[in-house]
Amino acid sequence: MTVSSAPGKVYLFGEHAVVYGEPAVPCAIERRATVSVEQRDDDRLRVHAEDLSLDGFTVEYSSDADATPDVDASESLVRAGVGYVDAAVSQAREAADAPDAGFDITIESAIPLGAGLGSSAAVTVAGIDAATRELGVELPATELADRAYRAELAVQDGEASRADTFCSATGGAVRVEGDDCRAIEAPDLPIVVGFDGGAGDTGELVAGVRALREEYDFAADTVESIGDVVRRGEDVLADGDLEELGRLMSFNHGLLEALGVSSRSLDNMVWAARDAGALGAKLTGAGGGGCIVALDPTDETKTALQFTPGCEEAFRAELDTEGVRAEEP
């Protein structure tokens, strides 16, 4: 058996605008998805998922693309649960030149699903790493990131940036602009995450921003302004000026709000963080529901979020400088 884990992430800056070629700065956090893989002696896949907001389920199916998984659960649940695993396995089979390899796969994730913390990227990156190593092939982090990006593209109908997968593969803070992905320096960040228990529909939210941008010049300008905030944010991150970083994150939230991708619960959590004296707060990821990220070196924001209506979970998250890694089986 081979086991790999990969971290989730928060966006300090730039989600949505990154889709239109502006830069974005995601940052890996110490919440991981762990994928265990054991090669079978046939070509079937058996996937068992735990803690994936899915309460634990198991599916078993053959590699034949037309075969329906043999499982007693709704199709959308199965798609959400195994779509990324499937795409990861395809990438691993291709990388190891083992088109008929079958696997027993177990996923354990501490990252809420579809909530802006990069759960799917973490599962995909860890899955490709574990499956290729199980087949005796070791891929460098950059190739893992590229293969995980292609897996996400396949599952998300061509709507994905390289941000999540690159960040999860390499760890740390990264800058992504189109196909250009690189690590950047970041100080220790006092990150607090608030989670509303829900999830947004990334495809729908991206389509909404696209429509606004086509209809109104000022919406297109808003997307460009997010790019300006990101460029300023990068410099500030390098300087380690946390107060200015927080101000820019709050500004970024306002622009995302204008583009219609926030929600009442996300805004409630952002306001709770502001009232608690956070240096800054914004939604992270596609929006519509899910998580906010705040900066606060004190306990005030976490405590305030715990008492905020609509906030289901609040936790501190350290920046994770390590990307994908091998774990003891």
> Interface with ligand PMV by CB under 6 A: which residues?
15-16, 18-19, 116, 118, 160-161, 163-164, 202, 206, 285-286
Residue closest to ligand PMV when measured from CB atoms: 285
Question: What is the closest distance, in whole angstroms, from the C-beta atom of residue 127 to ligand PMV in the complex?
Answer: 17
Task: Tell me, letter by letter, the H, E, C secondary structure of the chain.
Answer: CEEEEEEEEEEEECCCHHHHCCCEEEEEEEEEEEEEEEECCCCCEEEEEECCCCCCEEEEECCCCCCCCECCCCHHHHHHHHHHHHHHHHHHHHHCCCCCCCEEEEEEECCCCCCCCCHHHHHHHHHHHHHHHHCCCCCCHHHHHHHHHHHHHHHCCCCCCCHHHHHHHHCCEEEEECCEEEEECCCCCCEEEEECCCCCCHHHHHHHHHHHHHHCHHHHHHHHHHHHHHHHHHHHHHHCCHHHHHHHHHHHHHHHHHCCCCCHHHHHHHHHHHHCCCCEEEECCCCCCCEEEEECCCCHHHHHHHCCCCCCEEEEECECCCCCEEECC
Could you give the angle at the alpha carbon of 1 between the alpha carbons of 4 and 100, nearest 5°?
A: 95
Of the two residues 117 and 189, which places its CB atom closer to ligand PMV in the complex? 117
Q: How far is the CB of 225 from ligand PMV (least distance, A)?
A: 16
Nearer to ligand PMV, 115 or 276 (CB): 115
CB of 65 to ligand PMV, least distance (A): 25
Query: Residue 15 Cβ, how far from ligand PMV at the closest point, in Å?
Result: 4
Residue in 86, 146, 164, 320 annotated catalytic: 164
In angstroms, give the least distance from the CB of 264 to ligand PMV: 18
> Other C-beta atoms within 10 Å of 48: how many?
16
Q: How far from chain centre, in Å, is Cα 7?
A: 9
> Which residue number, 53 or 58, has a Cβ lying nearer to ligand PMV?
53
Residue 164 is among the residues annotated as catalytic for this protein? yes
* Min dist. Cβ of residue 90 to ligand PMV (A): 20
Measured from the CB atom, the residue of 3 and 319 that comes closer to ligand PMV is 319
Q: Which is nearer to ligand PMV, 102 or 233 (CB)?
A: 233
Q: For residues 276 and 281, which CB has a smaller minimum distance to ligand PMV in the complex?
A: 281
Dmax (CA) of the chain: 58
Cite the active site residues.
164
